[in-house]
Amino acid sequence: MTTLPSDIRALFAARSADLVDMAILQPADPFLDMAGEDLRRRIFLTESETGEQLCLRPEFTIPVCLDHIRTQSGTPRRYAYLGEVFRQRREGRAEFFQAGIEDLGDTDIASADARLIADAHALLTLALPKTPLALTLGDQSVFEAVLAALGLPRGWQKRLARAFGAPEQLAAALDDLANPQRKRGLGQPAARLVAARDREALAAHIGRTMEDQGLTPSAGRTPEDIARRLIEKAELGAVRLSDEAFAALKQFLAIRVPLGEAAEALTRFADEAELYLDTALDLFKARAEAVGDKAIGYVTYDAGFGRPLDYYTGMVFEIAASGASQPLAGGGRYDRLLTLLGAKDPIPGVGFSVWLDRIEALRGGTA
């Protein structure tokens, strides 16, 4: 890349985002705990001389948030970054460049969301001025509001919310919700401990089995975590959703309309399904209006669209070249993340990143 990074730095400065540099080696636990199953599988893990589990930086959001907490910086504050990330990938290099902005502490949620989407769109327009762009927007908080309004038990709400953004995982969860629990090949000792809901004994049994087979915990899947998930699945298996409620959930996930029509479509859905979604819809409407004011072009709202990172709590989006399958930029809102990382007070946050290798490919390798 030749001219593009300098253009990006100029855009960051114009958008009042301070460029920061994060260490390549990062503590692994925050990513293993909060980044989601998809990213956990791709992390390069290592250890320090003292035995601390470390990883090569797989993304920038968590490091930027940790650094903000460490330096006790005030808010609102906008950070920008431009550097390498490291992920195991089926195709392409495991080391590639990303750039992006993390916007922390702005309590005007709708305005901050719209501004960030406009920032991402402006960066891609700068890099690819002749490329038509397609922007897809989803909302984790609206999905979670629908789950709560349908009266799903908290365990099912958590499982479906975690699957939002992972189509195969969500489809499997919905299938489990709709159909009787299938027997799983656990083996008799583990099955008895699951039936007894004895998490401690089950974790010990799994640990011994892993040791006997020469396996070591990886990607955050400790015996305790595996035991918790097995028991959780058994508990969820006893719950069934009514046909009416299940049909409503499927109807919601099928909503896909231009953003300008989305608030009306969601209101109509809520009225027909007799669900109270007013709080979530009020914020959605405000954001849709703010995004419309930015005049960034055609935006599609897809009720079933999410991004496979566990820390998202609200708006999520991706921007791709029209007709392309891979996104060029993606981001979303993560209002609980900084508290989970150790911030004393809640700090709202929203951010995006762009894949510079994909941009370079579209530019014909001249970027």
Residue identified by tokens 């470390």 is 54
Q: What is the pLDDT of residue 232?
A: 67
Structure tokens belonging to residue 155 = 């365990």
Average pLDDT score over residue span 356-362: 93
- Helix ranges (DSSP H) in 196-258: 199-212, 223-236, 243-253
pLDDT of residue 40: 83
Rounded Cα distance between 77 and 103, Å, is 6
Which pLDDT tens digit goes with each residue over 307-324?
Answer: 988 899 999 999 999 988
324: helix, strand or coil: coil
Q: Helices marked H in 42-108 — which ranges? A: 61-71
User: Cα separation of 50 and 147, whole Å?
Assistant: 44
Cα gap 139→167, rounded to integer Å: 15
Q: Which of 100, 102, 123, 99 is nearest to 112 (CA)?
A: 102
pLDDT digits (tens, 9 = 90+) for 271-289: 999 999 999 999 999 999 9
| Distinct helix (H) and strand (E) counts, the chain | 16, 12
Classify 287 as helix, strand or coil.
Answer: helix
Contact 214/222 with Cβ under 8 angstroms? no
Kindly tell me if the per-residue pLDDT of 347 is higher than 70.
yes
Distances (CA, A) of 44 to 31, 146, 218: 11, 36, 10
Beta bridge partners of 86: 95
- Beta-strand relationship, 53-56 and 45-47: antiparallel
Task: With cut-offs at 50, 70 and 90, classify the pLDDT of residue 43.
Answer: very high
Q: Quick check: 217 pLDDT over 70?
A: no
Higher pLDDT, 171 or 188: 171
In sequence order, what DSSP letters do the residues of 14-39 get, joined into one string?
Answer: HTT-EE----SEEESHHHHHHS-HHH
pLDDT of res. 206? 77
What are phi and psi for residue 15, nearest 5 degrees?
A: -95, 15
Rounded Cα distance between 366 and 127, Å, is 11
pLDDT one-digit tens code per residue, 81-108: 999 999 988 777 889 999 999 999 999 9
Spell out the domains of the chain, with CATH numbers in brackets.
Answer: 4-146+254-362 (3.30.930.10), 188-236 (no CATH)
What's the pLDDT tens digit per position in 173-196? 888 777 755 545 566 677 777 666
Q: Exposed, middle or buried by CB within 10 Å (0-12, 13-18, 19+), for 117? A: buried
pLDDT digits (tens, 9 = 90+) for 115-151: 999 999 999 999 999 999 999 999 999 999 999 999 8
33 pLDDT band, cuts 50/70/90, is confident
